[in-house]
Structure 1
Amino acid sequence: MGEITIKQLAQILKVSTATVSKALRDSHEIGAATKKRVQDLAKSLNYSPNPFASGLRRHKSNTIAVILPEIANNFFAQAVNGIDEVAREKGYHLLIYLSHDSSEREAFFLNDLLSRRVDGLLMSISFDASDFTHLDAIQQKLPTVFFDRTYEGSLLHVTNNDFESAFDATRHLYECGCRNIAFLSAFQTLKTGDQRFKGYLSALKHCGLPFKDELIVHCNNNKNDSYTRIRELMTEIKPDGIVSSIEKLAKQCYYVCNELEINIPGDVKIVSYSNLDSASLLNPPLTTITQQAFEMGKEAATILFKVLKNSNYKADSKILNAELIKRRSTDIINI
């Protein structure tokens, strides 16, 4: 018989399609006996509602798009779970795009979204973004909320307390005896990366430490290139402390230190932004700045649905607090 439709159910039961539709939604307008007839038949024929078809009648798709830089990162996996929880409560579906930290792919996806029927967009910006024209444009055409990685032009966003958390991480290294603290920089063209770097600089000043340009390592999305730059830092500059602005660079530090037989935390102490479940299982366990990823996803989705309900909704930016979780990678070693 193929995929059953509301129209076919109505023909079999000799009632209107409106009656079938209301009965399936358990509307109070339909009597109990009719509801039972409709629902029993629908069940027996394995009827499955088409959310896109019903959305088109209301000029809605009941679908929101989510653009992520990556999914392997545990932070984004947790954030998607938060988004999905809110979406399911609202009867919405998620359409997930992975930019793989490419602004070119990101721009392609945004253009593609305009030809699709999605009701809104949740987005974390790619690693290499520098031209934000496509982001400015999408906000004028589609309800959009940015989370975690944002830029100066984002109208609605949910972020981490990036400045304060980077400040606390740097000060923690100072309190652990570090005086030559390096910073592994990523996505500094974005507001998120810029705030983390400024927090590091402010902490240096607060602790009375001089700024040294050679302690700043500007990393990109090329894994081998980042590894080479971190290796050069460890062999030529030899910092005693490292603040990593993203999780993947902290992992590179561990690989480099293992290759060069540099002891963590004896020779260098490391703290990194990370929601890695296995951070406590690394050797040594990694001190992390852990974000409220699930809550960030929920907050971003909640704001988006408020906008979808009221196009005039004006939201203040939401800032969540990250937690500095101290582990053995920043232990004080007494000799």
Structure 2
Amino acid sequence: MTSLLIVTDAWYPQTNGVVHSLEAVGNTLKSEGYKVQYLTPERFWTVPMPTYPEIRLSLAPIGAVAEIIGRMMPDHIHIATEGPLGLQAKFFCVERGLAYTTSYHTRFPQYVSARVPVPTEWSYAYLRWFHSGAAATLVPTPSIVAELAEHQFENLRVWSRGVDTSRFHPGAKTEFAGLPGPHLLYVGRVAVEKNVEAFLRLRMPGTKIVVGDGPQLPELRQAFPEAVFLGKKHGEELAALYRSADVFVFPSRTDTFGNVVIEALASGVPVAAYPVAGPVDILTDTAAGALDEDLEAAVTRALTLSREAARQHAARFTWAAAAEQFRSALVPASSWRDEAA
């Protein structure tokens, strides 16, 4: 049985696109006969990441990651994140001459600059160094491939995302009864880099509904009392909220993909967004979503679009296809078998 080790600093109890994508592709590969293991912060003491406490940074002793990887001896190694665990894994692979792949999930240069006055090129310099030794760096969209290529990243491959269309599907609008329509929905982290305020400032009739948690929630709740803030939701409750919306609004300019966009589409909800990386790669069918630098104009047009067309467009994004992109980029770690002989 072919074995794969995924090293990731992002894992449960976090709930975000990185964790979901790594779990979904791992489950798909398991169903195809792979032995998939994860090296995550669950094994170590952790501390909250400054300004992003949901992310716990691992306090792994020097050599701990090397010992674990050496004991597992996987056929393939994928380093998913650029944090402490990913860094130790990279050092180990380089020292031992092992081949590995990496992935780029988050535009940290933009995230950091939204919080502190740090030039984005400083962050890009670290990320470029981190990914430089990988046989391939997997990137969510062609737009992000082009962006990273401009910053001299190499060996870039597209690894798209999928959606569970059995979980997220059209149906009766069971939520938002008594709230003025149209019902405009945002789902995601409530933080400055997500640009949620742009959504809440829209001068449009109806009700703006925010699902999610984050450091900016108290501030926005006070500044926009007319909006409805529901906090973090999961499972069927979240799916029901999606399909009860009239338009899904995605105001972020910093995401690399936007899993919530295809979840909304799968629920039969047209999407309004800015024409930036992520949305421009997903909303290639103008019948499923609207892109405009004027977000109000995008929402207005999205309100006229077909829910059926949104659902049909979402069907293009499958985890089977995403897993095949991931699998095809893997390289043998190679030297294990020689050493074990």
- TM class, shorter-chain normalised? 0.3 to 0.5
- Normalised by the size of structure 2, how large is the TM-score? 0.36
- Normalised by the size of structure 1, how large is the TM-score? 0.36
Judging by fraction of residues, say which structure has more helix: 1
